[in-house]
Structures are given as C-alpha cells and as structure tokens.
Amino acid sequence: MVRGLRGATTVQRDESEDVLAATEALVIELAEVNKVLPKDIISVLISTTTDIHSTFPAKAVRSIDGWKYVPVMCTHEMDIPGALPRCIRVLMHVNTDVPQRYIQHVYQNDAVKLRPDLQK
C-alpha cells in the first residue's frame, strides 16, 4: 500500500549549506521514525517557499548513503502573504503496510507551527 509521509523544516538563511543540511536532517528523521528503507520509497517531492533559491534541496536526498536512485523532485510553494518564511516541505511516497493513523509526520524548527496538532 502507498502512504504519504509529510514533513517540514525551516532555515535561518538561504545558504546552500543550510538548505542541504536541513533537508537531509528532515528526510532522515522522517524515514527513521517510520522505519522506511530507501527500497520502500516510491518518490520524494520537496517544495520550498520562494525565498529559498540557493540550491536544489534534492541534492541533499541524493547524497544520503543508499538513496542515490530514489526519485526526487523540487518545486516552489505558492507565494502567500504571511506564509512561514524559508520553509522546506517534504512529501515522501512509500510502500508500507502501516495504517495511516500510525504514520509519523515530522516538523522541525519553526515548521512546528504548521501542524501543532501533530506535536507530542
């Protein structure tokens, strides 16, 4: 069965190193808490707010050991006034038998504000 794992994080600065480090940390935690291996991943969609343009966050995913062949795509979010700045969002499609209610979505840094209902 295919499930979607959601997550988001933010960076303080639009610097390539910051964007790549934050993206890698988010994707790794999302996979680890849901016990997902690269072979179980169908695809990863990464979006950023339009104030992030220093690098492709997908580079971070492809650099993770064992993730070289995971399909990854980047895009920009809608530019909505008042939206959380410098935000990176991830939607990971995975093969899993875990029921939807047990999927753990991950929100880091200022992105915890996006889904306070999911915080423990």
Write down all domains in the chain, each with its CATH number in brackets.
2-118 (3.30.1330.40)
Position 120 scores a pLDDT of 59
Question: Which one of the listed residues 3, 6, 32, 69 is annotated catalytic?
Answer: 6
SS3 78: coil
Question: Which one of the listed residues 74, 86, 101, 102 is annotated catalytic?
Answer: 74
Please report where in the chains the tokens 């990971």 appear, as a residue. 92
107 catalytically annotated? yes
Alpha carbons 8 and 17: distance in angstroms, whole number:
17
Q: Per DSSP, what are the bridge partners of residue 92?
A: 5, 44
Are 24 and 63 in contact, with CB atoms under 8 Å apart? yes
Q: Find the mean pLDDT for residues 41-66.
A: 96
89 catalytically annotated? yes
Q: Indicate the pLDDT class of residue 119, thresholds 50, 70 and 90.
A: low
Going by the DSSP 8-state scheme, the letter that residue 83 receives in this structure is: P
- Stretch among 21-25, 29-33, 116-120 having the lowest mean pLDDT: 116-120
